[in-house]
Amino acid sequence: MTRRASPHTPSVALTIAGSDSGGGAGIQADLKTMESHGVFATSAVTAITAQNTQGVERSHVLPVEEIGAQIETVREDFDVGAVKTGMLATSEVVELVVEKLADYDGPTVIDPVMVATSGDRLLEPDAEAAYEDLIGEATLVTPNADEAAVLTGIDPEDADDAREAGEQLVGMGAEAALVKGGHLSTDDVKDVLVTEKGYEVFEHARVDTDATHGSGCTLGSAIAARLARGEEVEAAVEDALDFMERAVRYPLDVGQGPGAVHHLVGLRNRAEREPTAERVDGIVERFVAEDLRGLVPEVGMNVVGATPYAERVDETAAVEGRITRTLSGIAPNRGVRFGASSHVARFLLSAREFAPDLRYAVNCRFDDDVEAALDALEAPITEFDRDEEPEELKQEEGSTMGWGARQAFDIEETPAAVIDRGEVGKEAIVKLVAPDPETLIERALAVHDALD
C-alpha cells in the first residue's frame, strides 16, 4: 500500500555565518537552534574554522563569489522569513552581505561576531568599519558589551551604558539593538533592548558556568527563528532570552573545554513532558498498591515529577487534588497533570538549584515515629526550621519552600529526605526526593516498612 504524504510548510530562516567544526557555535549552532524553534533552517557558509570547545586553531574564508552564490540560491528557492548573520570575517564579506540584504524586505538579525568565547579573533580589524552599513540593514543588532564598544566607542559597564550604546546603534540605522549583559559587571545579567520607542531591561540570574560557547550565535538564531514565525521584535527577544537562560543553566558537557550551551534544551524539555507524567502516574500506582497510608499526611500526599530542564511549576507533573486515605487504603483524588502542585513543586524546583539531577519528590507525614523510621534510608537527612525564616519572606506567597530548600541543601551531599517541623497552623512534613522514580519508590517503601 502506498501512503499519502501530508506535507508541513514551516517558516524558513537563513543564517549567513562561519562553520564551527566543534558544533557548539557558528552555522552548526544556528541550524540546531532554528530547527528547535520550529523553522526550516537554511545556510550560507562564510568561513571554515578548525575549532572546538578550547579555541580556534585555523580559519579559512570562502571566496565572496561562493558566499554570494549560496545566498542567492537559497533565496531563489525558499520564502525566507528572516535572516541572521554571524561570523563575516572580512570587509569584503560584510560588503557582500550588505549588498544582498539591500533588496531583502524581511527581518534581519545582525550578530556582530568579532571575538570567539575563547578569545580568538574572528573579524579582521579593517572589517569593523564596514559594519556601519550592515547595521543600517538590521531589524535587530545583538552585540555583547565588547562588540558594542567597538561599534559605538562606548564601553558599557552597566545597564545605563548599555542603553546609551543601544541608542547609538539605533541612530546608525538599526530598527532595534539588544546589548547583551553577560559581560557587564552587574550581579544579575541585564540585557538592554533599545528601539525607536524606548528601551527595556531584561534581567536574569547569572549562572555560575564557563560553558557559554555558542551563546551569542544561539541567542541570535532563536530571535531570528521567532521573527521568521511572525513574532514582533520585543516578544521575540523576551522569549529568546528566557530560552537562553535555560540553555546556559543546563549546558552540554562535551569536549575537553568548558562545554557549550544547550541548543535543543527547550525541545528536549518539551519532549519529556508525557514520559514524566507517565512516571509520576506509575509512582502513584505503586504507592496505592503498597497502601502507604502510614505516610499520608493530614493535608494529603502528592508526588511531583519535573522535566529534565524544568524551571517553572507548570513544568512539573503532580496529582490533581493529592492522594488521600480511604476506608480501604489510599487513592488519588484525580489524575496527573502539569501544574497540579504548588507546594511540593516549588520545593522540588528550589532543591534543583543545588542538585539539578533531582526530578521527583513526595511529601509524607512526619512525627517521632516517622523520624525514627527515616534511619532506614541510610542516606543524608536534613531539615529546616520555619522559626528562622525572615519575617519579610513569610509575607511572600510561596517563598517558604524556596527558603527552606536553601537551608536544607546547604550541605556537601544531596539529602534523601528533608524535614519541615512545621509551625502553628502548618503540619509537620518530611519530603523524600530522588533523581528517578525507582529510587523514590524504594525510599518511600523503606520508611513505610520501618514505620510498620
Taking only the tens place, the pLDDT of each residue in 220-275 is: 999 999 999 999 999 999 999 999 999 999 999 999 999 999 999 999 999 999 99
Please indicate whether residue 59 or residue 396 has the higher confidence score (pLDDT).
Answer: 59
Adjacent-strand bridge partners of 14: 42, 83
Cell of 171: 541612530
The residues, any chain, with a CB within 8 Å of residue 209's CB and separated by 6 or more, are: 248, 249, 251, 258, 259
Give the start-end residues of each E strand in 174-328. Answer: 176-179, 189-195, 198-204, 303-306, 316-319, 323-325
What amino acid occupies position 56?
V
Residue 135: predicted pLDDT: 93
Q: Is the pLDDT of residue 172 over 70?
A: yes
- Band (125; pLDDT cuts 50, 70, 90): low
* pLDDT average, residue stretch 432-441: 98
* pLDDT average, residue stretch 92-113: 94
Adjacent-strand bridge partners of 25: none
Residues 12-268, CATH architecture: 3-Layer(aba) Sandwich (3.40)
| SS3 labels along 375-414 | HHHCCCEEEECHHHCCHHHHCCCCHHHHHHHHHHCCCCCC
Topology at the third CATH level for domain 272-451: L-fuculose-1-phosphate Aldolase (3.40.225)
Q: Is the pLDDT of residue 185 over 70?
A: yes
Residue 150: predicted pLDDT: 86
Cell of 358: 533531582
* pLDDT average, residue stretch 67-96: 96
Residue 244: predicted pLDDT: 96
Q: Is the pTM of this model over 0.85?
A: yes
Residue 319: predicted pLDDT: 97
Residue 26 · residue 34 · CB < 8 Å:
no
Between CA 228 and CA 116 the distance in angstroms is 26
CB-count burial class (<10 Å; 0-12, 13-18, 19+) for 92: middle
Lowest model confidence (mean pLDDT) among 161-165, 330-334, 385-389, 406-410: 385-389
* pLDDT average, residue stretch 18-30: 96
> pLDDT of 262-276, one tens digit each?
999 999 999 999 999
Between CA 375 and CA 285 the distance in angstroms is 25
Q: Is the pLDDT of residue 121 over 60?
A: no
The pair phi, psi for residue 80, each rounded to 5°, is: -75, 120
Residue 204 · residue 245 · CB < 8 Å:
yes
Between CA 352 and CA 346 the distance in angstroms is 10
Between CA 339 and CA 271 the distance in angstroms is 17
Residue 105 · residue 36 · CB < 8 Å:
no
Q: Is the pLDDT of residue 431 over 70?
A: yes
- Band (119; pLDDT cuts 50, 70, 90): low
Residue 184 · residue 162 · CB < 8 Å:
yes
* pLDDT average, residue stretch 387-409: 70
What are the angstrom distances between the C-alpha of 19 and each of 25, 48, 64, 327? 8, 5, 15, 66
- Band (123; pLDDT cuts 50, 70, 90): low
Residue 411: predicted pLDDT: 73
The residues, any chain, with a CB within 8 Å of residue 53's CB and separated by 6 or more, are: 22, 24, 213, 254, 255, 256, 257, 258, 259, 260
The residues, any chain, with a CB within 8 Å of residue 128's CB and separated by 6 or more, are: 114, 150, 151
Between CA 245 and CA 206 the distance in angstroms is 9
H or E segment to which residue 269 belongs: helix 265-271
Of 59, 56, 132, nearest in space to 94 by CA? 132
Q: Is 291 helix (H, G, I), strand (E, B) or coil?
A: coil
DSSP 54-107: TEEEEEEEPPHHHHHHHHHHHHHHS-EEEEEE---BSHHHHHHHHHHHTT--S-
Q: Is the pLDDT of residue 120 over 60?
A: no
Please indicate whether residue 55 or residue 234 has the higher confidence score (pLDDT).
Answer: 234
State the pairing for strand pair 189-195/198-204: antiparallel
The domain limits of the chain are 12-268, 272-451
CB atoms within 10 A of CB 73: 12
Q: First-to-last CA distance in the chain? A: 61
> pLDDT of 287-344, one tens digit each?
999 999 999 999 999 999 999 999 999 999 999 999 999 999 999 999 999 999 988 9
